[in-house]
Amino acid sequence: MRDPRNALRPFIVKETQAAREKLAAHHFDLTAVRDVITAAAARGEGATRLTLGQTAVELRATEAAAKLLAWCEQNGLNVEWEEVVIPRENGLKLRTCELVITWLDEKR
C-alpha cells in the first residue's frame, strides 16, 4: 500500500515547476529583454536588472532562463544572478535571485 503522506508531494512539486516555467517565460521573454536592454542603453546605462517585482520564486532552473543565458552569451552580454530579499506583509522574508545583464565593463 502506498504511503498517503507521499501522495501530494509529487503533484505539488510538478505544479510548482510548471508555475515557475510559466513565470520565467514571462519574465525572460527574449524580445522583452532585448527591449529593456535597448532602452537602458539609450539612457546611457551599461547594465540592467531584470526585476521580478513581488515574485519570490526560484527561476534559475527553468528552460526560459537557460535560453536567455545562451542568448546573452551569443550576444556578448555578461550575466550575474544577484540575490534579493522580498519582505511580505505576513513578516516572511523570501529570497530569490534577479538577473543583472551587463554590456559595458565600467571600472570605478
Cβ atoms 59, 23 nearer than 8 A: yes
Cα separation, 95 vs 85, whole angstroms: 5
pLDDT greater than 80 at residue 106: no
pLDDT greater than 90 at residue 5: no
Query: What are the tens digits of pLDDT across the range 12-60?
Result: 999 999 999 999 999 999 999 999 999 999 999 999 999 988 888 899 9
Report the 10 Å Cβ neighbour count for 2.
6
Cα separation, 86 vs 103, whole angstroms: 27
| pLDDT value of position 17 | 96
The residue that leads in pLDDT, 2 or 9, is 9
Query: φ and ψ at 54, to 5 degrees?
Result: -90, 10
Return the C-alpha cell found at 103: 554590456
Confidence tier at 87 by pLDDT (50, 70, 90): confident
